[in-house]
Amino acid sequence: MSHIAARQEEVIAEFQMFPTWMEKYEYIIELGKELEGFPEQERKEENIISGCQSKVWLTAEKRENGLIHFHADSDAIITKGMVSLMLRIFNDQPGSEIVAADMNFLTTIGLLENLSQTRSNGLAAMIKQIKTYGFLLQ
Amino acid sequence: MSHIAARQEEVIAEFQMFPTWMEKYEYIIELGKELEGFPEQERKEENIISGCQSKVWLTAEKRENGLIHFHADSDAIITKGMVSLMLRIFNDQPGSEIVAADMNFLTTIGLLENLSQTRSNGLAAMIKQIKTYGFLLQ
Amino acid sequence: MSLDQDIAHIRKEFPILHQKVRGASLVYLDNAATTQKPQAVIASISSYYEQYNANVHRGAHYLANLATDAMEKSRDAIQHFIGATHREEIIFTQGTTDGINLVAHAWAMTHLKIGDEILVALSEHHANIVPWQQVCKKTGAILKVIPLNPDGTWVADWKTYINAQTKLVSVGWVSNATGVVHPIHEMVEQAHNAGAKILVDAAQAVSHFPLQVAQLNCDWLVFSGHKLFGPTGIGVLFGKLDLLNAMEVYRTGGEMIKKVSFEGTTFQEAPLKFEAGTPHIQGIIGLGEAIRWFSNVGWEWIHKIEMQQIEWMKSVTAEVKALHWIGESERKTALYSFWSPQFHHADLGELLDQQGVAIRTGHHCTQPLWDAWNMSGTARASFALYNNEEDTVQLQKSLIKSIQLLIG
Amino acid sequence: MSLDQDIAHIRKEFPILHQKVRGASLVYLDNAATTQKPQAVIASISSYYEQYNANVHRGAHYLANLATDAMEKSRDAIQHFIGATHREEIIFTQGTTDGINLVAHAWAMTHLKIGDEILVALSEHHANIVPWQQVCKKTGAILKVIPLNPDGTWVADWKTYINAQTKLVSVGWVSNATGVVHPIHEMVEQAHNAGAKILVDAAQAVSHFPLQVAQLNCDWLVFSGHKLFGPTGIGVLFGKLDLLNAMEVYRTGGEMIKKVSFEGTTFQEAPLKFEAGTPHIQGIIGLGEAIRWFSNVGWEWIHKIEMQQIEWMKSVTAEVKALHWIGESERKTALYSFWSPQFHHADLGELLDQQGVAIRTGHHCTQPLWDAWNMSGTARASFALYNNEEDTVQLQKSLIKSIQLLIG
Ligand SMILES: Cc1ncc(COP(=O)(O)O)c(C=O)c1O
Ligand SMILES: Cc1ncc(COP(=O)(O)O)c(C=O)c1O
């Protein structure tokens, strides 16, 4: 199992601990608050992922170890929590694995069924951008 | 009772003799065939009543006796029958009475309920034109 | 009967309201986006298709006559409902947006020229901005904008924005962003004094108070059926008859012609002139039924329930002070836009949704307003005649729970 | 199962067919004007309004998500049904007329110039003539017309009407006046060889054979939902994606914008670009359901029943020789236009209607054709997949009785 798949399993296990929507959202909001600081100079139009109701900024760099490191942020806290979840899974992985990753864990954690259409469109756009970076920085 | 109202009563009585749609239409078609000849030189655009699916020509003249005489024709035989029915009622009457006439006999003879929308629009247009002539030639 | 019983009675007629959403009872407060439909409207659609569906006007058969009759009776019902002088002044469109586009193409595009001015207000819906921008691009006319006070009303000197260059005023009667009711009667007078024509966007007005277009004396007025308890895909353009007949054609094709030949084609008068192609017969019939149903409820009661809803909401806004409530003007409909500098309206909306409370968040198609106010949008709860006290109680509870979650 | 049983089965799904009209069983043969709706489509409309009516796209709540999902699933169903490459190539319109007007305004008005030629055929529906006349009036382009053979087919040398000036070909695939199926595949090739774009009016084709637009390679194609067992007020414009994105906008307003400001507005890509305002959500969902239902019946069966109907009608036309039957070409749909020099088609239609047989009479929105043929129109019986042998028997009987009455 790839690192990414393993982390997905982790996240799924974690979410299973929260039976109610409130607990799930509480956790996501917490994740949002913990997300590491986003470099101010990168908070610009070209880093915005379109397709989300709230704004999402995403940047990526290939570090010396050959792995890809993402920075992301959002002006909405729930989105920020989702972003944080994504980064936990994808951060510091090789581009090839990012591109190859299977994303159906989102359904599995029973979050997506609670998510609005706009939200899941936004997530899809985010994943697409993450994979694009993965591909470009391979 | 005015002449026009009396003739309407006559027509209603006549139609009551025909219990089926077939007989009514047979009679109307017959009326259509009997309609007096329409002056060929009057068969022109400006004498056409618009609002009918088939063409209806209508002209009127005030005769020496002060009464109004109509000529009419149609390229469809059922329409021609309806026209003929109209003329039987309105022909050779004073303009004032034509203008004042009550037209709900059309419903009474149980014909209108059988008539299509286009047909009754056409009839309404025809009556309007007859009344206009009645008014103008008073 | 008590108000409570009356509402309960009305709610019974709306099948959609009686359902659980994510385990909670649905609280539908997105009525400014679209209203729900009473059983009578739904049934009118089914019986149209089950009993007398046919193409209209060209009709030479029984079903076609029934369909044509029903369609034209709807036109009569609408004429009566909005107080128009002639039935021919009622044009069926796809909705408010389509109606405004029709006037833009069939009148403004050919009647305006360089330097002419079109006047709108800052709070207009995009549907009442973008078509005029297109007109300006093609004709060289200029789009002028009435600014707003912080409470969402037009600035006090709004009349000074009308001048000799103003050829068209196009304003929303009620703002879908703030619920504010604007002084349209005065505006019609001012526009006409300046020799300008005036179009009224009544999308958010039509279900709240009588329009009385002949008395109002506006040149055009538009609204959507789906915001008046009617079906989607159908709307109304009212226009003064002479003006309609003097306008260019817009969509062309069947039904709107007198005679087609390759040498030249002639057109019908209004309303047919603007109704090219097979109409949305079912939508027209459904809208007619919606208007009959709505008229049966009656303005008196509609006014009463709206005043009551505003009363209920006073306690909500007083309790939930953590939020900023905008558009608290004197003359407003029961529509509440709110926001917080601390959290995003999208977060609020998502958490309310989890609790079965349906509101709308975002820019509500009035981006210029939020840009001017330096905001990214709001959350908006908008009421219709079936929203009861329980709905406001649930809204308040869910708001408080959401805020608790967000501030953690 | 036998064909009889199959039809009986299908007829059961259409509530409207089982009624008496003026004492006789309804024989509905006006399907080229509009088709009837199966119970599944009617039910899809009711359940939309009873369960998940909401405004789409802007959605931040549960019902809005359901509505948006259902709407976009319909787009997928249509894409699949007509064989388009991209889902974004499916634009929702009001109908065929609206789709043609869209292309006329958003492409032809700005892409054609003096001396350019638009090519149509003599038998086009007014919806495929008048918009081009308007384009010619504004741009100075010239409308060219392919004449017809007496059987309703294009003249043998139709290819010579395409030349270097031809910028747009816009032709009906199946004539609603004659039922003739025109050689559209060849026409697409010829148009493209000449560097022209081609729009296909598939209003009368869509329910008779598979369109396969990607394979056909046309630039645009239009049809109406109401002629495909779907609701009124909804239609489809297919366009090649690059072309759609290169076109101007048409109706403007909400949903089709990226960003609105008074300094300048930017637009979405297709399909949203062309879908301003609240869509006809219910119509879109109903059309999706119609397509699912129709696909379930399947092309094989649809072909079989149509061949059978043509067979049945051979005996009618042979028996009723007193009438002139036109459009008896080799490649035709089950649509029969007929007339007599002795009596008016309106008389025929009225007498058929008295016997419960619904057909259409008049010019069928193809006036130039009748003018060229020196006729005032025809009576027209047009079939759909639920018309059985009994319908043709009743048609024949009623025709004979009507003729008897008329010749007296
Ligand atoms: C060939 C053809 N084109 C266009 C149309 C117009 O379709 P609609 O009235 O649905 O816009 C029709 C139907 O009347 C038609 O038969
Ligand atoms: C004030 C106002 N104008 C115009 C519109 C557009 O209406 P529709 O989307 O029905 O065309 C709306 C609704 O969204 C509105 O609230």
Are A76 and C406 in contact (CB < 8 Å)?
no
- Residue of D93, D123, D125 best suited for mutating to test ligand 1, as the one with most atoms within 8 Å of CB: D125
Instruction: Please give the DSSP secondary-structure letter assigned to residue D107.
Output: I
Q: How far is the CA of D274 from the centre of ligand 2 (A)?
A: 16
Please indicate whether chains B and D are in contact, defined as at least 3 beta carbon pairs under 8 Å.
yes
Class of domain D3-30+298-407: alpha beta
Indicate the Cα dihedral angle C226, C232, C237, C238, nearest 10°.
-50
As a whole number, mean pLDDT of residues C227-242 equals 98
- CB of C367 within 8 Å of any CB in chain A? no
Q: Which residues line ligand 1 (CB under 6 A)?
A: C 254, 277-278; D 95-97, 125, 127-128, 172, 176, 201, 203-204, 224, 365
Ligand 1: atom nearest CA of D174 is 1
The band of D183, judged by pLDDT with boundaries at 50, 70 and 90, is very high
A60 CA to centre of own chain:
12
**Could you give the CA distance from residue C61 to residue C65 in angstroms, rounded to a whole number?**
6
pLDDT band, very low/low/confident/very high, at C330 (cuts 50, 70, 90): confident
Residue A114: what pLDDT?
60
Residue C399, φ and ψ in degrees, nearest 5: -65, -45
- pLDDT above 70 (res D355): yes
Chain D residues touching C28 at Cβ < 8 A: 63
**Chain A residues with CB-CB distance to C408 below 8 A:** 26, 29-30, 33
Average pLDDT of chain B, as a whole number: 85
Please give the radius of gyration of chain C, using alpha carbons only, rounded to the nearest integer. 22
Residue A117: predicted pLDDT? 58
Burial C339-370 (b: 16+ CB within 10 A, else e): bbeebbbbbbbbbbbbbbbbbbbbbbbbbbbb
Query: D376 is written with which tokens?
Result: 């005032």
- pLDDT > 70: percent of chain D: 99
* DSSP annotation of C249: P
Domain range summary for chain B, segments of one domain joined by +: 3-137
**Could you tell me the pTM of the whole model?**
0.96
Report chain A's mean pLDDT, rounded to a whole number: 85
Please write the tens of the pLDDT for every residue from D92-103. 999 999 999 999
Closest Cα of chain C to D284: distance in Å? 10
> What is the rounded distance in angstroms from the CA atom of residue C230 to the CA atom of residue C378?
27
Mean pLDDT is lowest, of A22-26, C13-17, C355-359, for A22-26
Contacts for D5 with CB less than 8 Å, ≥ 6 apart: none
Measured from the Cα of C172, ligand 2's closest atom is: 1
At residue B51, the pLDDT reads 65
Banded pLDDT at A17 (limits 50, 70, 90): confident
C366-380 confidence digits (pLDDT tens): 999 999 999 999 999
Does the domain at A3-137 match CATH 3.90.1010.10? Answer given as yes
Q: Is the pLDDT of residue D328 over 80?
A: no
Chains that touch D (3 or more CB pairs under 8 A): A, B, C
CB A77 within 8 A of CB C406: yes
C155 residue type, one letter: V
Residue that the structure tokens 């709610």 belong to: C11
pLDDT in tens, D358-370: 999 999 999 999 9
D65/A116 touch (CB, cutoff 8 Å), yes or no? yes
On the CB side of D86, CA atoms within 13 Å amount to 13
Which residues, in sequence order, are bridge partners of residue D362?
A: D378
Residue of B nearest to C57 (CA): B118
Q: Using one digit for the tens of pLDDT, what is the confidence trace for D104-148?
A: 999 999 999 999 999 999 999 999 999 999 999 999 999 999 999
CATH of region C43-295, choose from 3.10.105.10, 3.30.413.10, 3.40.640.10, 3.30.450.20: 3.40.640.10
User: Which pLDDT does position B18 carry in this prediction?
Assistant: 86
**What is the average pLDDT across D10-36?**
96
Whether the Cβ atoms of residue D296 and residue D379 lie closer than 8 Å to each other: no
A contacts of C344 (beta carbons < 8 Å): 54, 75-77, 79
pLDDT level of residue A119 (50, 70, 90 thresholds): low
- D362 CB near a chain B CB, below 8 Å? yes
Q: Is C214 on the interface with D (CB under 8 A)?
A: no
Q: Give residue ranges with CB within 6 A of ligand 2.
A: C 95-97, 125, 127-128, 172, 176, 201, 203-204, 224, 365; D 254, 277-278
The tokens 């591109």 sit on which residue?
A: A99
Buried b (16+ CB within 10 A) or exposed e, D240-264: bbeebeebebbbbbbbbbeebebee
- pLDDT number for residue A125: 83
pLDDT tens per residue across span C152-175: 999 999 999 999 999 999 999 999
Whether the pLDDT of residue D190 is over 80: the answer is yes
Give B9 to chain D, closest Cα distance, Å.
Answer: 25
Confidence label for D58 from pLDDT (cuts 50, 70 and 90) = low
pLDDT of residue B116: 59
**pLDDT tens digits, one per residue of C89-99:** 999 999 999 99
Instruction: Tell me how far apart the alpha carbons of residues D193 and D77 are, in angstroms, rounded to a whole number.
Output: 32
Interacting residues of A130 by C-beta distance below 8 A, sequence separation 6+ = A58, A60, A70, A86, A90, A98
Q: Tell me, what's the pLDDT at B113?
A: 57
Backbone CA torsion sign across D51, D56, D57, D61: negative
The neighbour count for residue D151, using CB atoms within 10 Å, is 13
pLDDT in tens, D230-281: 999 999 999 999 999 999 999 999 889 999 999 999 999 999 999 999 999 9
Give the DSSP H or E segment for D221.
Answer: strand D220-224
B5 touches D: beta carbon within 8 Å: no
CB contact under 8 A, A117 and D61: no
3-class SS of residue D263: coil
pLDDT band for position A110 (cuts 50, 70, 90)? low
Q: Rg for chain A (alpha carbons), in Å?
A: 14
CA dihedral (C242, C247, C252, C258) positive or negative? positive
User: Burial letters for C21-53: b for 16+ Cβ neighbours within 10 Å, e otherwise?
Assistant: beeeebbbbbbbbbbbbbebbbebbbbbbbebb
- Of the listed ranges B48-52, B77-81, D122-126, the least confidently predicted one is B48-52
Residue numbers of A between 10 and 49 with CB closer than 8 Å to C: 21-22, 25-26, 29-30, 33
Question: Before D210, cis peptide (omega within 30)?
Answer: no
pLDDT above 90 for A105: no
Inter-chain residue contact D54 with C358, CB threshold 8 Å = yes
Cis peptide before D38 (omega within 30 of 0): no
Nearest ligand to residue C55 Cα: 1
- A4, A28, A52, A58: which is the annotated catalytic residue? A52
Number of C–D residue contacts, CB under 8 Å: 298
| Both tokens assigned to B120 | 């009754």
Checking if the pLDDT of C84 tops 80, the result is: yes
Residue C109, both tokens: 């595009």
Residues of chain D with CATH 3.40.640.10: 43-295
Residue B127 has pLDDT above 80, yes or no: yes
Chain B: closest CA distance from residue D326 (Å): 21
- At residue C59 the predicted structure's pLDDT band, cuts being 50, 70 and 90, is low
**Confidence check: pLDDT of D283 > 90:** yes
Between CA D155 and CA D148 the distance in angstroms is: 5
- What single string gives the DSSP state of each residue in B51-94? T-SS-EEEEEEE-TTS-EEEEEEESSHHHHHHHHHHHHHHTTB-
Q: Is D65 on the interface with A (CB under 8 A)?
A: yes
Band (D330; pLDDT cuts 50, 70, 90) = confident
| Residue range B20-49, pLDDT digits in tens | 889 989 999 999 999 988 999 999 989 998
The closest alpha carbon to C140, from C164, C109, C115, belongs to C115
Q: Which pLDDT tens digit goes with each residue over A68-84?
A: 999 999 999 998 998 89
Distance CA D405, CA D356 (A): 16
Which residues, in sequence order, are CB contacts of A1 under 8 Å at separation 6+? A9
Name residue, tokens 């500098």.
C341
Over residues C207-232, the pLDDT tens digits come to: 999 999 999 999 999 999 999 999 99
Is A52 among the catalytic positions? yes
What pLDDT is recorded for position A52?
65
- Residues of chain D with C-beta less than 8 angstroms from the C-beta of B54: 344, 346-347
Q: Which of these ranges, A91-100, C33-42, D308-317, has the smallest mean pLDDT? A: A91-100
Three-class SS of residue D28? Answer: strand
